Amino acid sequence: MSTDHPTEAQVAAAAATFHMLSSATRLRIVWLLVHAEYDVSGLAEAASASLQTVSQHLAKLRLAGLISSRRDGRHLYYTVDDPHVVTLVVEIFDHIAADGSIAPDPAPRTPRPIRESAETS
């Protein structure tokens, strides 16, 4: 992890990304797309939103570069293929418990004992 201060451009881009994900509907759509590829009608059904609403959010998310699409015949299928976006979404939902509270921190990992090599014995 870099200790350099972020540039103004980096801060602006990060704020824009968080702004895109600040909509509950867009965040649900991105979460769904992190876990599976959907066409717009399947996504609308999975997100419990109208086709028009999902289409509008998909356009914004694509423009922001958070999701991508591929054409298969007459259908467009959407996904999240940027590993940084995947990590961001997975981490936030690992951080939030099912009841909406902050989830407890995971137990610290116990370091493995160091095995002495034959040379140090």
Q: What is the pLDDT of residues 51-64, one digit of tens each?
A: 999 999 999 999 99
CATH number of 24-95: 1.10.10.10
Please state, in angstroms and rounded to a whole number, the distance separating the CA atoms of residues 104 and 42.
33
Q: What is the pLDDT of residues 61-101, one digit of tens each?
A: 999 999 999 999 999 999 999 999 999 999 999 999 999 99
Nearest by Cα to 29 from 72, 70, 59, 73: 59
**Predicted confidence band at 108 (pLDDT cuts at 50, 70, 90)?**
confident
Domain assignments of the chain as residue spans, ordered by start: 24-95
